[in-house]
Amino acid sequence: METGWGPANEVEREIAEALTAGDGKRFANAVIASPLYLPVLPEKGSERWRELSAQLPLDQPHVLVFTSTDAMSLLLGSYTRGHIETDYASLVRSWPGPQFQLAINPGLPIGSVMPVEALEQLRTGKEELIPAEALSSLVEERVNKRMRELCLAGLGLGAGALPAAAPPANELEEALAKAAAEADGEAFLAALWESDVVVPTSEEVEEIVLDPEVGFPWLDFEDAVPVFTSQEQLERTSNSVEFSAVVPFMALLALWPDAHHMLCLNPGAPTELFLSGETLLSILIEMDQLPPEPEQPDAPMPPLGHDRPDPHHADDHITPPHDLL
């Protein structure tokens, strides 16, 4: 979508020069002092939202901001329905969760994607500018580490402790271990889609009801939701979980609470996998198992993510254990 970009103001000229020089402090100071523009995007789940998601160069949940309305219009064109003017401090105060990245002018020559707190770390010299590809990997690694720590601490494991290793307890774990050993992300995900998983719960579940109004008693830790491939794996990870339910994986997707929660499969195990809520909900939209959301007032900061690919090509957008792909 981006063609013929040029700096629209002094801030963008400063950002461009800072990026060229690799000067993280200068870059951060320019962004932190600048007005920022939040686009009002198409309704999530709509055809226009899906079209835009497929075109944006971002794989993880994120919040889009721009340093000028010209930059926003250049990238988003008719996909934006207006904007809200804000600043960095306001963004930090209202940040939706640790799994979200800050995408500043994405897709443009002055674009960057990073954790929201990274700007302050760049300003103080605690972090340095690094290439975009390396930054993307670093962000994913940090988010996964944070989600792993939240789950393991919440489940009662001590700091730095991991679940004890053990042979596979069922066919699913055998398939996942084989796929991990062979670096076969497609096989890993295909096995998961077709299986049951064990979900820790906050109370006893007598019957799985696929009704959003009924709800599901998730045992979550901030935005992290632990899920396991067997009762044995759950017990190796925690001896304090009183309740759990066996749920078909596809039913789990239909029950998923919202886009802000991240699924943490077997946290700390060799077969751990992290899937964002945006990815999970996109799977349901793609499979026509989730109705479009009712009409809502324009939201100034809707997170946006890629559409879920066909299961046979799921490795395009999902990172399996140990960066298999």
pLDDT per residue of the chain (325 residues) written in tens, 0 to 9: 444 678 999 999 999 998 888 888 999 999 999 999 999 988 888 888 888 877 775 666 889 999 999 999 988 888 888 999 999 999 999 999 888 889 999 888 888 888 899 999 999 988 777 655 555 566 677 778 888 999 999 998 877 789 998 999 999 999 999 999 998 988 998 999 889 999 999 999 988 887 767 789 999 998 899 999 999 999 999 988 999 999 999 999 888 988 889 999 999 999 999 998 888 887 777 765 544 444 444 443 333 333 333 434 443 333 333 322 2
Give the gyration radius of the chain's Cα atoms: 21
What pLDDT score does 313 carry? 40
- The rounded distance, in Å, linking the Cα atoms of 141 and 215 is 31
Tokens coding 280: 């999970």
How far CA 194 is from CA of 38, 46, 171, in Å, comes to: 39, 27, 11
CA distance 2 to 80: 14
Comparing CA positions, the residue from 251, 248, 308, 247 lying closest to residue 275 is 308
pTM of the shown model:
0.55
Distances (CA, A) of 304 to 11, 20, 124, 135: 25, 28, 29, 19
Rounded-to-5 percentages of helix, strand, coil across the chain: 40, 15, 45
Q: Hey, what domains does the chain have and what are their CATH numbers?
A: 10-129 (3.40.1350), 141-323 (no CATH)
DSSP 3-60: -S----SHHHHHHHHHHHHT-HHHHHHHHHHS-EEEE-PPPTTSHHHHHHHHHSS--S
